[in-house]
Amino acid sequence: MSTTNKKDIVRGKRYTADEKNKIIAFVESHNTANGRGGQSAAAKKFGVSQLTVSGWLKGAGVSGRGKSGGKGSMQSKLATLLTLGQEIAKLDKELSSKRAKFESIKASL
């Protein structure tokens, strides 16, 4: 009989809501562009099992099989908007920083 140490137990990675929303948005985007295949493409791209992606899609009320039009599509769209808004805010901040640096160097010439 073998015993298992606590150190030997492998725990899965925990994903933030933002990471999940990003993956869900990717699946929807892929399915919109290609008709299907978003779930498996997301699993490969993000290194997440297809079963996990499927669970997140069901939890968000999104169909992983092509175009989503079910009851969860509004929630999914809101999640996508939230993720995109966060990415835009981050990029705006980065752009502002780069512009300030550019203007500083330009002024020193």
Helix (H, G, I), strand (E, B) or coil at 7: helix
pLDDT at 64: 62
One-letter amino acid at 45 equals K
Whether the CB-CB separation of 22 and 56 falls below 8 Å is answered with: no
pLDDT at 65 over 80: no
pLDDT at 3: 61
Q: Determine, yes or no, domain membership for 51.
A: yes
**Total tally of structural domains belonging to the chain:** 1
Q: Determine, yes or no, domain membership for 8.
A: no
Q: Determine, yes or no, domain membership for 45.
A: yes
Domain that holds residue 72: 14-107
pTM summary value: 0.51
In angstroms, rounded to a whole number, what is the distance separating the alpha carbons of residues 109 and 104? Answer: 9
Whether the CB-CB separation of 77 and 60 falls below 8 Å is answered with: no
pLDDT at 95: 96
Structure tokens at 38: 């978003």
**Chain mean pLDDT for the chain:** 82
Q: Determine, yes or no, domain membership for 3.
A: no
Q: Determine, yes or no, domain membership for 5.
A: no
Helix (H, G, I), strand (E, B) or coil at 91: helix
